[in-house]
Chain A
Amino acid sequence: MLKHHDAGAEMVPQEGVHEVDNVGARLGRTDAWRKVTGQEQYMEDVPLVSQLWGKILRSPHPHARIRGIDVSRAESLPGVKAVITFRDIVPFKIGYSTHGDQFALCHDRARYVGDEVAAVAAVDEETAEKALSLIDVDYEVLPFVLDPIEAMKPDAIVLHKDKGTNIAAENHTEFGDVEKGFAEADHVFEDEFETQRQCHVCMEVHGCVANWGNDDSLSVWTSTQSPHIVKRFLAKAVDLPLSKVRVNRVGVGGAFGSRTDLFPHDVIAAYLSKKARRPVKLLFSRQEEFYASATRHPALVRIKTGIKDGMITTRHVTAILNGGAYTSQTGAVMGSLGWKASNYYRIENYRYDGYGVLTNTSVATAYRGYGGPQLGFALESQIDMIAERLELDPVEFRLNNANRQGDTSVSGSYFSSCELTQCIEAADRALEGEKPAGRDQGRGMAIGFGESGWRGAYYNNSDVSAATIKMNMDGSIHTTVGGAEIGTGYDTTMAQIAADALGVPIDQVSVHSGDTNDAAYDLGLYASRGAITSGMAVKLAADKTKGKLLDAAAKMLDTPRSELSIENRCIVSSANPNIAITMAEIAEHIYEEEGSAVFGTGIYDPQTHLADETGFHASPGGSITYPFCAVNLDVSVNRDTGEFKIGKIAVAVDCGKPINPAIVEGQIEGDVFHGLGMATVEPGLDYDDAGAPKYHHLVDYKLLTAADMPQIECIVAESTDPTGPFGVKGVTQLITSSVGAALANALNDAIGVRMTSLPITPEKILQALERAQS
């Protein structure tokens, strides 16, 4: 079933919504009023009495030995309440999963411009900044390496001596017989692509507000996607029992993968507060946000593809990712890139050689798409290049090789639902009648593939989410979930699911997320898992709550439980229409007469598999279900200036059942924004010859704004997936992976030049046109 939406279509006001049809309804966001009126509390707004300001002293060198740090001058500055170095903190290595290799404050070595060396807390920001300038660090400047290819060489400068190599992670996995596949192929093509170090550029900068109590308990307000993950590792980093650490709910001003882990600044804020015995607020400047939060992995991707009888049979993907100075999520992103490549089309043989390499640059981490955008640009560009060389229609070529429902990919992912062919056809049709006829106009398509949850992140052999539902005496409900509202409409989605699962009007549902003291352990919001894992946990919690209500009603009404059901906010008997009781009545009865309470807890862990030693997952894969998409766009090029204009982008996505079409459209538009920024204007955090980042401000590092965005047509190719709550699948990042290739393909269609590196700028287009002419 296809549903076309024009972005910005009118929303149904929350009042007067059908009582049991919230799932699937275009509802306004439950957090909208709070956010648009400025009531939402972000880190900057957290009001704590006698709060100090924290600031971090960062390395000005890309690589240096720290011979000594003298903080005495800073400590004696009036207004300074704490100065800390590595001597003040537990030597806990921060990182992702088991790959921790970063101390919150450098011990004897700084490894990139921005590395945390010392920190201060003072009565105001001015004093804190002044104190930083009074810390004397004795650096011995060391040779450095910025380029991952250089860093892989045997004689390269090694960043982490204990590792003995800069290759932080590698993956060499084969399915089928690649050599035989290429030998038997009619055609073999090999092409190379490159993508830049895109920055997340969250509207809210990173930071942390920490309050170390005199009872040695720690309370933090940190803008995060994963409150429980932060709590878990922060407790280790500050050496407190988990019961003494609380991550509080706070507004999240943009995340996109950049807030999935515990970071040095969280630990630093905590220790500053511990030492000063006062609350500490530590917020990045915009410049710090660029070079000291984290970035996307720049990547080199080489793809070798074998074709037999017009079908893709064999693929060999080689990827080199620049992970920056510390490992962070480099191994996982590198693995995800290779895993995604095995799932894009029906192929028989697949080999992956992936390398995650450390260099003296800012740390790279999760970023919307998680390896997908780097891969998608390469893989989907090459699809068009192959189609052109073989004189095939690129849309037909994609359709012929597309995955379908019931397929199991070469690496073992089982597609319990798949409407990819419908997506391709719908995105193709959406631009029909707008066929660019003029000179220098073109059209290009790319497909996308993604995950809905991920087993095995953060030490866990799980992909767990948790929720609790508590019904009040008046029949209204509190829903507590372990994830966080990071702007994805999580709270609203959970409210819709809870409302329908219990048959309660949505305006009587409140959702509490983001607080580790409220909710049970939940891995958080990443890998497009929120709607599916938290959604399922909410549904399970609702089912248990419903069970309690029905049990009590059966007793109260003296009616067999099997005859009772919930309809129109009442519990009714199917055998006798005269037997009915409102939810409020039964809830009140339970509280008042039975001396009990109405609540249910749901824990959901999908039936997926942990990756084995190859880094790949046995069927059905690491994710319980998989979303697909196709992006199709028109472009016109000015040959004189190399400028190009995108006329319209059609995005067709198979995200299962859209719980809230307006939220799905918001995600599609956000996905296009990040993909198009990466494809066109975002330069990436490039470095100068001295190893310092070139970009510090939004004057230099440009983002697209509303004025730059093309018209987006959102098409939902709805599938019926048997796994998630109401058949939902993830929809927060796969389209980002498709935009770059769709643009490159459209440009090639328009002017006959092939762009193989991102971003695609007018400068590069003019150069390519000149090369084509000569």
Chain B
Amino acid sequence: MSTRVLPEFLLLRPDTFDEALSLVDRYRDKAEVLAGGTDLLVNMKCGTATPSIVIGIGKVDAFNRIEFDPENGLAIGALASIRALHDSPDVARYYPVLRDVAHLFANVQLLNMGTVGGNICNASPAGDFIPPLLSQNAHVVLGSASGTRTLKLIDFFVGPGKTVRRPDELLQTITLPPLSTDYHSGFVRITRTAEDLAKISVATVFSLRDGNFHDVRISFGAVAPTVLRMPDIEAFLEGKPMDDQTIGEATAMAAERISPITDLRSTSDYRRKIAGAALRQSILAAVERSPAQ
């Protein structure tokens, strides 16, 4: 059931980070956190989200930032819009694959309203930003009234729409370690139309040492209950020459390491069939892109 009408709810709009934390602590399961609203409001109209309280964090300046320094890498505040990421010169220079994703992301309205933090907390296996962030070895910083904790992003997801974020916690920041300038990165997303969720997505990061793969990180989206890293394939590629045969062998490993479902976007069978091809495209896209300057 979907309606033209948002059901009734209480909207709380904290001004500060501490106020936001105390509100989530107080209301916990009764409340949903509103960042850009591009998922939450749709879900509320469809009846799949029924919060009696919505905590809108839009006024908390501390969340709205994208900062880079060469020592610590990139910090993306939970409220940073995808537009801000798209327009950040630091992102374009040091993490070009994130700009690629922002560029592909849905449409102008969602680009302007959606947030990277929301994309992660929504925890869709098809979330566009999750594979590239996983391949960048991202961490998430969760804040609560009792302090903060930092997790590897890979450990954040539990299942479709499920994360380890406790009801009293807020996603505060997403951090990415600095990426050495000799790294390549690529992202591929196979969709029905330009403005669509992925049937399958792959983000690849690696460096090439004398033409051999090194420190390979491969993440697959929309092929399992959560976005997956591919440790077997990463290990297989380590130290091997970047050539057709190696890539062919690596891509042949993909299909059996995923557990895709059939949904309205595609079929399990198709996703399995194209997993290797998507990985190949992602590697080739990464090779084609000059390493960060």
User: A residues near B, CB below 8 A?
Assistant: 125-126, 129, 283, 285-287, 638, 640-643, 681, 683, 694-697, 699-700, 702-705, 707-708, 761-763, 766
- Whether B8 is near chain A, meaning CB under 8 Å from some CB there, is yes
A766–B273 touching, CB < 8 Å: yes
In the bound assembly, the distance between CA atoms of A286 and B46 in angstroms comes to 11
In the bound assembly, the distance between CA atoms of A697 and B47 in angstroms comes to 13
- Whether B197 is near chain A, meaning CB under 8 Å from some CB there, is yes
A641–B190 touching, CB < 8 Å: yes
A285–B4 touching, CB < 8 Å: yes
Cβ contact of B4, chosen from A283, A695, A699, cutoff 8 A? A283
Give the interface centre of B1, B192, B195, B278 by most chain A CB atoms within 10 Å.
B192
In this complex, what residue of A is CB-closest to B7?
A126
B5–A705 touching, CB < 8 Å: no
B193–A125 touching, CB < 8 Å: no
Cβ contact of B264, chosen from A694, A763, A766, cutoff 8 A? A694
Cβ contact of A681, chosen from B2, B193, B269, B273, cutoff 8 A? B193
Cβ contact of A285, chosen from B3, B107, B273, B277, cutoff 8 A? B3
> When A125-B5, A126-B8, A641-B277 are in contact, do A762 and B193 touch as well, CB less than 8 Å?
no
**A to B CB contacts below 8 Å, 16 in the list:** A125-B3, A129-B3, A129-B5, A638-B277, A640-B277, A641-B278, A642-B270, A695-B264, A696-B2, A696-B46, A702-B195, A704-B193, A707-B193, A762-B274, A763-B267, A766-B274
Give the interface centre of B4, B42, B195, B278 by most chain A CB atoms within 10 Å.
B4
A126–B277 touching, CB < 8 Å: no
In this complex, what residue of A is CB-closest to B2?
A287
A707 / chain B contacts, CB cutoff of 8 Å: 193-195
> When A694-B264, A707-B195 are in contact, do A766 and B280 touch as well, CB less than 8 Å?
no
- Whether B64 is near chain A, meaning CB under 8 Å from some CB there, is no
- Whether B163 is near chain A, meaning CB under 8 Å from some CB there, is no
B270–A287 touching, CB < 8 Å: no
B280–A640 touching, CB < 8 Å: yes
A695 / chain B contacts, CB cutoff of 8 Å: 264
A694 / chain B contacts, CB cutoff of 8 Å: 264
In the bound assembly, the distance between CA atoms of A431 and B194 in angstroms comes to 25
In the bound assembly, the distance between CA atoms of A129 and B7 in angstroms comes to 10
**Restricting to B175-208, which residues have a CB under 8 Å from any CB of A?**
190, 192-197
A708–B264 touching, CB < 8 Å: no
**Restricting to B265-293, which residues have a CB under 8 Å from any CB of A?**
265-267, 269-270, 273-274, 276-278, 280
Give 1 or 0 for each of B1-18: 1 = CB within 8 Å of chain A CB. Answer: 111110110000000000
11 more contacts with CB within 8 A, not counting A283-B4, A700-B264, are A129-B3, A638-B277, A641-B277, A681-B193, A683-B264, A699-B42, A703-B193, A704-B193, A707-B195, A762-B190, A763-B269
A697 / chain B contacts, CB cutoff of 8 Å: 2, 46
B196 / chain A contacts, CB cutoff of 8 Å: 702
B197–A699 touching, CB < 8 Å: yes
Q: How far is the CB of B6 from chain A (nearest CB, A)?
A: 9
Question: What are the 10 tightest A-B residue pairs by CB atom distance, in nearest-first order?
Answer: A640-B277, A707-B194, A287-B2, A700-B264, A763-B270, A641-B274, A125-B5, A702-B192, A702-B193, A681-B192
In this complex, what residue of B is CB-closest to A127?
B5
In the bound assembly, the distance between CA atoms of A681 and B276 in angstroms comes to 23
In the bound assembly, the distance between CA atoms of A292 and B187 in angstroms comes to 40
User: B residues near A, CB below 8 A?
Assistant: 1-5, 7-8, 42, 46, 107, 190, 192-197, 264-267, 269-270, 273-274, 276-278, 280
In this complex, what residue of A is CB-closest to B278?
A641
Q: How far is the CB of A113 from chain B (nearest CB, A)?
A: 12
In the bound assembly, the distance between CA atoms of A287 and B265 in angstroms comes to 18
A761 / chain B contacts, CB cutoff of 8 Å: 192
Q: How far is the CB of B20 from chain A (nearest CB, A)?
A: 28
Q: How far is the CB of A451 from chain B (nearest CB, A)?
A: 31
In the bound assembly, the distance between CA atoms of A703 and B264 in angstroms comes to 14
Q: How far is the CB of B22 from chain A (nearest CB, A)?
A: 31
In the bound assembly, the distance between CA atoms of A763 and B273 in angstroms comes to 9
- B-side interface mostly: loop
Q: How far is the CB of A645 from chain B (nearest CB, A)?
A: 12
B46 / chain A contacts, CB cutoff of 8 Å: 696-697
In this complex, what residue of A is CB-closest to B194?
A707
Q: How far is the CB of A486 from chain B (nearest CB, A)?
A: 23
A285–B274 touching, CB < 8 Å: no
> When A707-B195, A708-B193 are in contact, do A640 and B274 touch as well, CB less than 8 Å?
yes
B195 / chain A contacts, CB cutoff of 8 Å: 702, 705, 707
Cβ contact of A125, chosen from B4, B8, B42, B192, cutoff 8 A? B4
B42 / chain A contacts, CB cutoff of 8 Å: 699
In the bound assembly, the distance between CA atoms of A285 and B47 in angstroms comes to 14
B193 / chain A contacts, CB cutoff of 8 Å: 681, 702-705, 707-708
Q: How far is the CB of B122 from chain A (nearest CB, A)?
A: 13
B265 / chain A contacts, CB cutoff of 8 Å: 700
In this complex, what residue of A is CB-closest to B188?
A641
Cβ contact of A766, chosen from B4, B8, B270, cutoff 8 A? B270
B266–A763 touching, CB < 8 Å: yes
In this complex, what residue of A is CB-closest to B190?
A641
In the bound assembly, the distance between CA atoms of A642 and B266 in angstroms comes to 12
In the bound assembly, the distance between CA atoms of A537 and B199 in angstroms comes to 52
In the bound assembly, the distance between CA atoms of A762 and B267 in angstroms comes to 11
In the bound assembly, the distance between CA atoms of A68 and B85 in angstroms comes to 57
Give the interface centre of A643, A761, A763 by most chain B CB atoms within 10 Å.
A763
In the bound assembly, the distance between CA atoms of A286 and B277 in angstroms comes to 36
A699 / chain B contacts, CB cutoff of 8 Å: 42, 197
In the bound assembly, the distance between CA atoms of A744 and B276 in angstroms comes to 26
B276 / chain A contacts, CB cutoff of 8 Å: 640
In the bound assembly, the distance between CA atoms of A640 and B200 in angstroms comes to 14
In the bound assembly, the distance between CA atoms of A697 and B266 in angstroms comes to 16
A126 / chain B contacts, CB cutoff of 8 Å: 5, 7-8
B3 / chain A contacts, CB cutoff of 8 Å: 125, 129, 285
Q: How far is the CB of A121 from chain B (nearest CB, A)?
A: 15
B4 / chain A contacts, CB cutoff of 8 Å: 125, 283, 285
Q: How far is the CB of B54 from chain A (nearest CB, A)?
A: 16
Q: How far is the CB of B231 from chain A (nearest CB, A)?
A: 24
A708–B277 touching, CB < 8 Å: no
A705–B194 touching, CB < 8 Å: yes
B273–A708 touching, CB < 8 Å: no
In the bound assembly, the distance between CA atoms of A283 and B4 in angstroms comes to 9
In the bound assembly, the distance between CA atoms of A129 and B266 in angstroms comes to 34
Q: How far is the CB of B10 from chain A (nearest CB, A)?
A: 15
In the bound assembly, the distance between CA atoms of A641 and B199 in angstroms comes to 11
B192 / chain A contacts, CB cutoff of 8 Å: 681, 702, 761
In the bound assembly, the distance between CA atoms of A704 and B192 in angstroms comes to 9
A702 / chain B contacts, CB cutoff of 8 Å: 192-193, 195-196
In the bound assembly, the distance between CA atoms of A491 and B46 in angstroms comes to 39
B273 / chain A contacts, CB cutoff of 8 Å: 766
In the bound assembly, the distance between CA atoms of A703 and B190 in angstroms comes to 16
B2–A286 touching, CB < 8 Å: yes
Q: How far is the CB of A763 from chain B (nearest CB, A)?
A: 4
B267 / chain A contacts, CB cutoff of 8 Å: 763
In the bound assembly, the distance between CA atoms of A643 and B107 in angstroms comes to 21
Give the interface centre of B193, B197, B267 by most chain A CB atoms within 10 Å.
B193
A681 / chain B contacts, CB cutoff of 8 Å: 192-193
B107 / chain A contacts, CB cutoff of 8 Å: 705
In the bound assembly, the distance between CA atoms of A377 and B2 in angstroms comes to 34
Q: How far is the CB of B190 from chain A (nearest CB, A)?
A: 6
In this complex, what residue of A is CB-closest to B251?
A640
B5 / chain A contacts, CB cutoff of 8 Å: 125-126, 129
A641 / chain B contacts, CB cutoff of 8 Å: 190, 274, 277-278
In the bound assembly, the distance between CA atoms of A642 and B190 in angstroms comes to 11
Q: How far is the CB of B5 from chain A (nearest CB, A)?
A: 5
Q: How far is the CB of B78 from chain A (nearest CB, A)?
A: 24
A129 / chain B contacts, CB cutoff of 8 Å: 3, 5
B194–A708 touching, CB < 8 Å: yes
In this complex, what residue of B is CB-closest to A696?
B2
In the bound assembly, the distance between CA atoms of A522 and B270 in angstroms comes to 51
In the bound assembly, the distance between CA atoms of A703 and B192 in angstroms comes to 9
In the bound assembly, the distance between CA atoms of A286 and B280 in angstroms comes to 39
